[in-house]
Structure formats: C-alpha cells, structure tokens
Amino acid sequence: MKTESNMQTIAPAIRRAVPNRIFAAGAVVVALCAAFTPLAHADNAPSKTPGGSLATAAAGSTPLPAGVVARVNNISITQDQVDQIVHTTNAPDTPALRANIKEQLIARELFRQAAEKDHYATKPEVQAAIDQAKNAAIVQAYLRDQIKPAPVTDADVKAQYDKVIATLGDSEYKPSVIAVKDAATAQTILDQLKKGVDFAQLAKQYSQGPAAAQGGAQNWISFKTPIQAGNTQNWPQPLAEALVKLPQGAVSSEPVQVGDAFWILRVDQKRPTQIPPFDQTKDVLRRQLEQAAMQKATAQVVVGLIRNAHIQQ
C-alpha cells in the first residue's frame, strides 16, 4: 500500500488547516520582478529590441565598476540583484537566463525613473501601496521575533504515531457519502439507489456534503470498536456507528441524521487496517506537529496582544 494512502488512514485526527508561514525568503524580490518574470522563463533566450538589447542600449564607454552589470542614467544594477532573482526561479542557471534577468532589471529601472520624473510617487494609490508594503514588512519582522514555536523532538513524533495508531480498529473503510438537508430528499435518493441509479451520480446531483463533486468519495478511515465518543477520527459518532455495521458494497438502509443533515453511506471497500511503518510516516507527522506548534505559538501572541488592547467592533 502506498504511504499516502496509509497516511490518509492514520492521520485524519490531525488538523491540516494551519496558516501558511509568512517568512518566505526572497518574497520581496519575486514581487518586485513579477511583471517581468515571463521573460526570464521564455525559452531562456535573450529578448531582442529593434536597436539591440536593453543592455546594449544602456552600455556606455566607461567601464563598469566591479559587481555592477549595468547602469541606467548613472543608477547601478548589481550582480547581487541578478543572483537573487536567479535563485528564486526554477529555471536552470544559464547565461541566457541571466541576460534576460539583466534586461528585465534595466527595463524596471527605466520604468521607475520615468514614473519618478512624472511624480507618480505622490499619487494616492502609490502612497497607499507603499504604506501597505511597509506595514506588511513591519508585521513580518515582528512576528519573526515574537513567535517562538516549541521544538518538535523525535520523542514527540513517535508519541504522536503511537497515539494515532491506538485509535485504529481492526478494519478500515473507504466510504462514499451523500448529505442532504431534508428527510424527503434522502428517501428519494435511497429509492433511486434501489432502482440501480449510480451512487456517485446521485452524490453529484444532490449531495451538500464533502467531496460531492467527486461522487462523495472519502479517504480510508478506521475506528476502534465499539465506537466511543471522542474516538471517531472527527466523524460524527452516529455516522461512525452506522459505517462499521455495513459490509463492503452495502448502502445504509435509512438516512442517518446528524443535526439538520441526513446522510447516506456506502462502503466502497473494506479491508484489514493497513498500518505503515513509523519510518514511512515520521516526516509527515513531524511537519504536522511543527505546524501545530506554530499555530499554538501564534495564538499565544495574539491572545497576549488582545488582552492588553482596547478593541471595539
């Protein structure tokens, strides 16, 4: 069995909705060059202009200082700038790529100088963008210093593996589900299923539940039986109890009500629980624990700031 399939079984209780980290290296460089990056990836060949390349047009008779690849009206474009952008691309580091990047930087500097000459820096929308970028940089620097997630140790990873494995039962199931808002619609679906209408087709047509567009198909799931509250891999307990009673290929004979929704279950596959070795899952578990630690540390900073703030809504 593939590791990914196994992880879908053993780790459903671990939340994945963790905010993306905001400290991406080189993000400023990428943003500054976003308008020009298509050139850097276009066949890795230097673009041509009617009178020669921008680098040729900008060239002067005075030799360039060390570390400078071009000058535009006495403003230097450095080798470091080119290197930074090369490092943010996924393209091979070739002379053609570097030539394109240099021309992009020349073009950007020409645009900047022309805009400055026409006093674009004083336009309200430009000032707003500058303020927004400044505030974002300040927040990023603050969070980088203040958010200190607890380190995740090898023992933590192993303990998490053991904890997840302990929640699994002898069998695992790959179900499909249909969820609707009223009992009458649920009964209509059951009637159509008895007539041989395809479950996936009905899920796409009626379901308001998870993965409706995929025919209601769910990942592998396993429960320790008898079902106990709080040990249902984030499934509602009535659904878990109904699922483990169904043989492979069977559909629930009546809708299962959970709150205001009515669920119809089908067991697409059933088999003995496949437990992957620790070495195959430890990296995924470590990343999940690190994300959880980051989320917890971030929440602690937010709570501390809220406690000392006066907020009106």
pLDDT tens-digit series, residues 74-108: 999 999 999 999 999 988 999 999 999 999 999 99
- Residue 306 has a pLDDT of 94
Cα separation, 163 vs 278, whole angstroms: 12
CA distances (Å), origin 14, targets 8, 11, 144, 160, 308: 10, 6, 25, 10, 32
List, for the chain, all residue ranges whose pLDDT scores fall below the cut of 70: 1-61
Task: Return the closest-CA partner of residue 76 out of 102, 46, 51.
Answer: 102
pLDDT score at 239: 96
Residue type, 234: N
Nearest partner of 242 among 194, 164, 178, judged by Cα: 178
Residue 262 has phi, psi (to 5 degrees) of -120, 125
Residue 165: half-sphere exposure toward Cβ, Cα within 13 Å = 14
pLDDT of residue 62: 81
How far, in Å, are 153, 222, 277, 283, 289 from residue 15 at the CA level?
19, 17, 21, 16, 10
pLDDT at 54: 56
Long-range (24+ apart) CB contacts under 8 A made by 199-206 are: 199/251, 199/266, 200/176, 202/178, 203/176, 203/177, 203/178, 206/178, 206/180
Domain with CATH 3.10.50.40 in the chain: 169-272
CATH 3.40.50.150 correct for 169-272:
no
Per-residue model confidence (pLDDT) at position 259: 95
165-191: burial string, b at 16+ Cβ within 10 Å, e else: eebbbeebbbbbbbbbeeeebbeebbe
Per the CB < 8 A criterion, the answer to whether 274 and 1 are in contact is yes
Cα gap 308→310, rounded to integer Å: 7
pLDDT of residue 57: 52
Token representation of residue 92: 């091979």
Helix and strand numbers, DSSP H then E, in the chain? 12, 6
The crossing angle, in degrees rounded to 10, of helices 278-307 and 124-146 is: 110
| 32-77 pLDDT per residue, tens | 334 344 343 334 444 444 445 555 554 556 899 999 999 999 999 9
- Identify the pLDDT of residue 161: 96
Q: Report the b/e string of 96-121 with b at 16+ CB within 10 A.
A: ebbbbbbbbbbbbbbeeeeeeeeeee
Beta bridge partners of 171: 272
